[in-house]
Structure 1
Amino acid sequence: MSRYDFDTVIDRKNTSSLKYDFGPERKNRDDLLPLWVADMDFKLPDEIIEDIEKRVKHGIFGYTDPKEDYYAAVRNWFLKRHGITVKDEWNTITPGVVYAIATAIRALTEEGDAVLIQQPVYYPFTEMIKLNNRRAVNNQLIYRDGYYEIDFNDFENKIISEKVKLFLLCSPHNPVGRVWTKEELIKIADICERNGVYVFADEIHADFVYKGFKHISYLTLGEKYTKKLIVGTSPSKTFNIAGLQIANILIPDENTRKAFRVANEAAGYSQCSALGLTATISAYTKGGGWLDELLDYLEGNVFFIKNYLEEKIPEVRLIQPEGTYLLWLDFSRIADHHKDLEKIIVDKAHLWLDPGIIFGRETNLFERINIAAPRKILEKAMDQLYDAISNNDSER
């Protein structure tokens, strides 16, 4: 029997929610069902909310640093959930993983240096590279028969020809949903180690892996691969606390860690969020059961979307996810141009999804949809999409 409720629809409007309250500013309209930005429409369990409320009732929110209870919570979570032994000294708290990526870029590369990515990929990767005056080099993932793979020959050729200094790995991958195998990660690690390339492994989605798959952290690949490694993790994705501004950045190598911390301090960041700290400790010590039920619910949402598309909109192809709560949909049989596709999604279906073109030029006929929502919201979204595509076909 389920202990937790993921079916209740909670009104998030008028909470300064980026997802729900900024349609007029970002899309010039307020009639869209938002399934875009990667936060969840699920409430935290009461046991974690109670810990946050207790901290709030204390009434003083001064400068805050972690103590042993925080480090113990992080150690135990990663050991129990992922089999990773995390040492306390590896950990540097930042307000988020994207902030940490930008910090790593400044710490480990110079202006004009090349940073490698694998598109289609989470678009802030590219933004952080360009905004810090570095060059984004793309190792395009191979899309074949509804499945994505790494082009390892191109990966190493780009590293050598472009003199790549840093590689940004998305693991599990957003938006294509791949959970990289150990064999794939070892190939990546060997190439980077052989060519002296730093690796930032964004593992923020590590807790969202579906049955039959297993997240392999870069930290577990072997000591020789950790000399130039930074791993970005955070409870913000797992427990929907991005607004509390906290991430755990794990750096085993002392020299790499020093370089990162200098850049972090140069950016003016020091103490972490008081409520973020409390939420992390509570979530990592009390949230395991909630997460297990959430994963089952999300798997049910994947099953629902898959069946709906196969039965009613077979022209839209779901890339079967191995992890994350972000589904990658191929609309190439629906439209020939991304602007035409956006008209269908926005003007006819009244949906707010993430257009594929922001993840890379070659995926301009894809859309990313966030399924971390009560199923009745997804049912509504799919019905709107079905009506829009049916009407569009009849108008052709």
Structure 2
Amino acid sequence: MKEFDTFIERKGTDSVKWNALKTIYGTDDLLPMWVADMDFASPPEITEAIETRARHGVFGYGQASPDVFQAVKNWVHKRYQWDLEENWLLPSPGVVTALGFAIQALTEEGDKILIQTPVYHPFYHMIENNHRIVVKNPLLLHNGKYEIDFADFEAKLKSGVKLFILCNPHNPVGRVWRREELEKLGDLCHKYSAKIVSDEIHADIIYKPNQHIPIASLSSKLQELTITCIAPSKTFNIPGLQASLMIIPNAELRKKVQSVQGKISFHGLNIFGRIALEAAYKHGEAWLENLLTYLQDNRDYALQFIEQEIPSVKAISPEGTYLLWIDCRSLGLSDNDLKKLLVEKGKLALEPGGKYGVEGEGFVRMNIGCPRSLLEDGLRRLKKALS
């Protein structure tokens, strides 16, 4: 697949991934495989739609047309068999921003919010920055696969948790939660009157035979207590355009979120974010299917390389996302010492696992959403660093 094998120079394009290395890692002579954006060009249909709109030349205030919402509804129906209504959809610049909206709308200062660790670090930040209390339900690693500790989950809900933030597919461990797992989580949240915010930003990046199921689609009772956050950003590599959506079937919850958005005068997405979102969901499916094949090959290549060439560490096989979670605990190194080896010896920038909570210490996260040549280079650097 030549379109994904092509290296595209990103230095000098205001890329955080490629241009913030010196700030984050102390040097800029590293191969960056840390931030979760891909090194692939987005689908040409998105670029063409943006160029067409740009040539118009007038960029006044805008609003989303019915076509935008219809494209989202069609996408969710086709890929997840979930029928949405247009008024359920609220825009947000990004999923992290959506988490902030939901936390402010559904909880009060001092309330407890439950997360499953290790988990995407902004979960912690949004809870703490809004003066809520982080409650952790640590995931359990058994035979190379993460599982949910349901006894602990229920105990934490009993303690007075008001909101549960689900990550599905899970970042960084790569789990795609099964129907029975989601049903059990949902039943317990319903039993203890905890609302759910489901971060499903990686929902389209799923490896066969796994299947993504939106937790809100499982039943009417779960639909009523869940806010689902989706975006084309990870799927089509357009996070810099800042366009995402919150799916909120419950009218009361929706009104509360709209009230929070009103307080900061957020009224909608920018013109190019809307254009890209609509083009992605209307025309991006064939590109996505090719991407998934490429990413699955990358995943399998990386897993085999690490098993054969770096047997001192263990990579967790992701069921979804383009992120590889690597267990380096057998090396007996602190996160700082591990980072030093990677940077100074391997010239490689990976995400330190401790960033995702204490349960992630001794792990690193590698972004494999890149041309095979970069992946091969990164794996060689990883081997050099750890040899």
- The one-letter amino acid of 2:98's match is A
Structure 2 match to 1:118: 116
Q: Distance in 2 between matches of 1:339 and 1:48?
A: 40
Q: Is 2:344 aligned against 1:362?
A: no
Task: Quote how far apart the aligned CAs of 1:267 are.
Answer: 2.2
SS at match of 1:199: strand
Task: Quote how far apart the aligned CAs of 1:206 are.
Answer: 0.4
Q: Distance in 2 between matches of 1:142 and 1:45?
A: 37
Q: Does structure 1 conserve the Cα–Cα contact (< 8 Å) formed by 2:43 and 2:236? A: no
Q: Does structure 2 conserve the Cα–Cα contact (< 8 Å) formed by 1:107 and 1:259? A: yes
Task: Quote how far apart the aligned CAs of 1:195 are.
Answer: 0.6
Q: 2:303 aligns with which of 285, 303, 306?
A: 306
Task: Quote how far apart the aligned CAs of 1:43 are.
Answer: 0.3
Q: Is 2:224 aligned against 1:227?
A: yes
- The one-letter amino acid of 1:325's match is Y
Structure 1 match to 2:285: 288
Q: Distance in 2 between matches of 1:236 and 1:300?
A: 22
Structure 2 match to 1:185: 182
Structure 1 match to 2:69: 71
SS at match of 2:134: strand
Q: Is 2:206 aligned against 1:209?
A: yes
Q: 1:140 aligns with which of 131, 135, 138?
A: 138
Q: Distance in 2 between matches of 1:310 and 1:201?
A: 33
Task: Quote how far apart the aligned CAs of 1:145 are.
Answer: 1.5
Q: Is 2:352 aligned against 1:350?
A: no
Once the two structures are superposed, residues 17-73 of structure 1 have per-residue CA deviations (whole angstroms, 9 ceiling, x without a partner) of 010011122222111111111111000222221111001111122222111110111
- The one-letter amino acid of 1:282's match is A
Q: Distance in 2 between matches of 1:36 and 1:335?
A: 22
- Please give the TM-score of this superposition, normalised by the length of structure 2: 0.98
Q: Distance in 2 between matches of 1:168 and 1:122?
A: 11
| Alignment map for 1:158-177 (pairs within 5 Å) | 158-161=156-159, 163-177=160-174
Once the two structures are superposed, residues 171-221 of structure 1 have per-residue CA deviations (whole angstroms, 9 ceiling, x without a partner) of 010011000001000000000001110100001100001011100111211
Superposition misfits of 4+ residues, deviation over 6 angstroms = none
Q: Does structure 2 conserve the Cα–Cα contact (< 8 Å) formed by 1:63 and 1:271? A: no
Structure 1 match to 2:269: 272
Q: 2:95 aligns with which of 94, 97, 103?
A: 97
Structure 1 match to 2:127: 129
Q: Distance in 2 between matches of 1:27 and 1:310?
A: 27
Once the two structures are superposed, residues 2-24 of structure 1 have per-residue CA deviations (whole angstroms, 9 ceiling, x without a partner) of 5x610011000001101001112
Q: Distance in 2 between matches of 1:228 and 1:264?
A: 19
SS at match of 2:125: helix
- Please give the TM-score of this superposition, normalised by the length of structure 1: 0.96
| Alignment map for 1:320-339 (pairs within 5 Å) | 320-339=317-336
Structure 2 match to 1:393: none
Q: Distance in 2 between matches of 1:208 and 1:232?
A: 15
Farther-moved stretch of structure 1 (244-253 vs 22-31):
22-31
- The one-letter amino acid of 1:97's match is V
Task: Quote how far apart the aligned CAs of 1:268 are.
Answer: 2.2
- The one-letter amino acid of 1:115's match is I
Q: Distance in 2 between matches of 1:219 and 1:288?
A: 23
Q: Does structure 1 conserve the Cα–Cα contact (< 8 Å) formed by 2:11 and 2:19? A: yes
Task: Quote how far apart the aligned CAs of 1:336 are.
Answer: 3.0
SS at match of 1:327: strand
Gaps of 5+ in 1: 391-396
Root-mean-square deviation over aligned CA pairs = 1.0
Q: Distance in 2 between matches of 1:370 and 1:265?
A: 36
Task: Quote how far apart the aligned CAs of 1:338 are.
Answer: 1.6
Q: Distance in 1 between matches of 2:384 and 2:350?
A: 16
Q: Distance in 1 between matches of 2:248 and 2:174?
A: 25
Q: Distance in 1 between matches of 2:44 and 2:359?
A: 44
Q: Distance in 2 between matches of 1:298 and 1:16?
A: 25
